[in-house]
């Protein structure tokens, strides 16, 4: 078979020699596989035996993982020491760029990390995504590993391809002591990811109060804007983190700063129903009439969600009861269509235009009639809504109520003088 594949005849002696080479190669491969398995499993006697038999200490798997990486990943200190003594390449890289030190650091294997550093492991080696031993240890909360890496000269400002730093990762995951250690090591508190998110933004969003406090003590840009996510204050308001909102306001955060979509902290809190935050922002003089890019205001957003107490709080702060979204509803048309009686009453009390029209030409009364919201129709009629107002196609509130089989609304409209012709 070998002779046929090689397409030339082999002498008996050559055939024997070739067979011996094949067997030796097969044995070597088996030894490599055995060493990889023994290293991964922490089988120290087997590792020593294979090394003594001449196994290649640096031979790797298809993904580039070496015995040293696998032993480091599993925290097998004595195996790591044996491999290093056999001249394992401490800085060998897997296909994705990882080294034994990076892998051990991410797993939190402190003694292995120390052994690798003593063997001159590159403390600033990177994964293909830019992650280092320090970013990994910081992300996964391994404080002593972080301290060891910093003492060994790890670059505290190294960033990943997405701009993430050790400080951002530790802040995101709420690892307070690591955040403090990184700040002591002069980590850039204002470093940003490619999406604009800084440590303060992500800690505020995640609700890590003590981390936020530590970051604020480092004098960050409290109004750093993460584009669509907005500032730390916008993020904390959206998520309902009251204490963090109060901390940011005390740090003089701009309560009217906007995300790239034009959303303010007050809008974020209003649309998610966080009354206490809405109240705190209003006390801090947040603009109740600020508009997002689509024309939405805090009042419109709270109205659409039927957050009655927030609607009342905003109206008490002189929010415009007649605000309108671009090519969309007004506060009262939105509330009327949804059937939110208490909100309708609050808006009417604040002198919302009872005859306001939505962008499709429907009036408040038409929308309530169309949907069959009897009590809302009554409230609108009591506020002198025009019972005979027409759309461009001639439709009236009465016609819409009749077409949609709302007899009680039909009777109310007729009693209010609706034209039946």
Average pLDDT over residues 67-73: 97
Average pLDDT, the chain: 92
Task: Quick: pLDDT tens for 151-195.
Answer: 999 999 999 999 999 999 999 999 999 999 999 999 999 999 999
Which of the pair, 318 or 31, is modelled with greater confidence? 318
Would you state the pLDDT for residue 23? 36
| Cβ neighbours around 3 below 10 Å, total | 12
Q: How confident is the model at residue 6 (pLDDT cuts 50, 70, 90)?
A: very low
Average pLDDT over residues 401-419: 95
Would you state the pLDDT for residue 90? 98
According to DSSP, residue 8 is labeled: S
pLDDT at 33 exceeding the cut of 90: no
Would you state the pLDDT for residue 420? 84
Average pLDDT over residues 315-344: 96
Would you state the pLDDT for residue 421? 74
Would you state the pLDDT for residue 149? 98
CB burial class (10 A; 0-12, 13-18, 19+) of residue 130? middle
Measured CA to CA in angstroms, residue 366 lies from 28, 101, 261, 315, 332 at distances of: 84, 69, 31, 24, 12
pLDDT at 26 exceeding the cut of 60: no
pLDDT at 31 exceeding the cut of 70: no
pLDDT at 108 exceeding the cut of 90: yes
Q: Map out the domains of the chain with their CATH numbers.
A: 1-122 (1.25.40.20), 130-221 (1.25.40.20), 346-421 (1.25.40.20)
Average pLDDT over residues 275-283: 98
| Cβ neighbours around 120 below 10 Å, total | 10
pLDDT over 90, % of the chain: 90
Distance in angstroms (rounded) separating the CA atoms of residues 386 and 388: 5
Query: Taking a C-beta distance cutoff of 8 angstroms, is the pair 127, 95 a contact?
Result: no
Query: Taking a C-beta distance cutoff of 8 angstroms, is the pair 304, 331 a contact?
Result: no
pLDDT at 277 exceeding the cut of 90: yes
Would you state the pLDDT for residue 82? 98
Measured CA to CA in angstroms, residue 232 lies from 67, 185, 198, 235, 253 at distances of: 45, 23, 9, 5, 9
Q: How confident is the model at residue 32 (pLDDT cuts 50, 70, 90)?
A: low
Task: Quick: pLDDT tens for 84-94.
Answer: 999 999 999 99
The residues, ordered by sequence, that sit 6+ positions from 105 with a Cβ below 8 Å of its Cβ are 113, 133, 134, 136, 137, 142, 145, 149
- Which residues on adjacent β-strands are paired with residue 183? none
Task: Quick: pLDDT tens for 280-328.
Answer: 999 999 999 999 999 999 999 999 999 999 999 999 999 999 999 998 8
Q: How confident is the model at residue 228 (pLDDT cuts 50, 70, 90)?
A: confident
Would you state the pLDDT for residue 227? 82
């Amino acid at each position: 078979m070998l002779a046929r594949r090689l397409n030339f005849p082999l002498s008996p002696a050559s055939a024997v020699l070739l067979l011996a080479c094949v067997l030796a190669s097969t044995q070597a491969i088996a030894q490599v596989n055995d060493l990889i398995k023994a290293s991964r499993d922490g089988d120290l006697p087997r590792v020593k035996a294979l090394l003594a038999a001449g196994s290649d200490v640096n031979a790797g798997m298809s993904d580039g993982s070496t015995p040293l990486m696998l032993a480091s990943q599993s925290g097998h200190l004595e195996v790591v020491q044996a491999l290093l003594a056999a001249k394992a390449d401490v800085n060998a890289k897997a296909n994705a760029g990882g080294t034994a030190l990076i892998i051990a650091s991410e797993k939190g294997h402190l003694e292995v990390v120390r052994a690798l550093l003593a063997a001159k492991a590159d403390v600033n080696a990177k994964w293909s995504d830019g992650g280092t031993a320090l970013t990994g240890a910081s992300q996964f909360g391994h404080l002593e590993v972080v301290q060891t890496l910093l003492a060994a000269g790890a670059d505290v400002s190294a960033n990943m391809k997405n701009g993430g730093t050790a400080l951002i990762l530790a802040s995101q995951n709420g690892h307070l002591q690591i955040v403090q250690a990184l700040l002591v090591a002069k980590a850039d508190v204002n470093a940003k990811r490619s999406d604009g998110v800084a440590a303060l933004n992500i800690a505020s969003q995640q609700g890590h109060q003590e981390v936020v406090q530590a970051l604020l003590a480092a004098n960050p840009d409290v109004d750093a804007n993460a584009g669509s996510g907005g500032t730390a204050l916008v993020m904390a308001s959206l998520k309902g983190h009251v204490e963090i909102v109060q901390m940011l306001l005390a740090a003089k955060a701009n309560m009217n700063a906007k995300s790239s979509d034009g959303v303010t902290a007050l809008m974020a809190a209003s649309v998610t129903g966080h009354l206490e935050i809405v109240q705190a922002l209003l006390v801090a003089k947040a603009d109740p009439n600020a508009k997002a890019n689509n024309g939405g205001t805090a009042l419109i957003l709270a109205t659409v969600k039927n957050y009655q107490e927030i609607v009342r709080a905003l109206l008490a702060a002189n929010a415009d009861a007649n605000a309108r979204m671009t090519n969309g509803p007004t506060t009262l048309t939105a509330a009327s269509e949804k059937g939110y009686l208490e909100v309708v009453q609050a808006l009417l009390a604040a002198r919302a235009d009872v005859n306001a029209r939505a962008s499709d030409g429907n009036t408040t009364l038409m929308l309530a009639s169309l949907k069959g919201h009897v009590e809302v129709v009554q409230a609108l009629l009591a506020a002198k809504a025009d019972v005979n107002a027409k759309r461009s196609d001639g439709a009236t509130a009465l016609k819409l109520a009749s077409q949609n089989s709302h007899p009680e609304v039909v009777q109310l409209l007729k009693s209010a003088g609706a034209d039946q012709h």
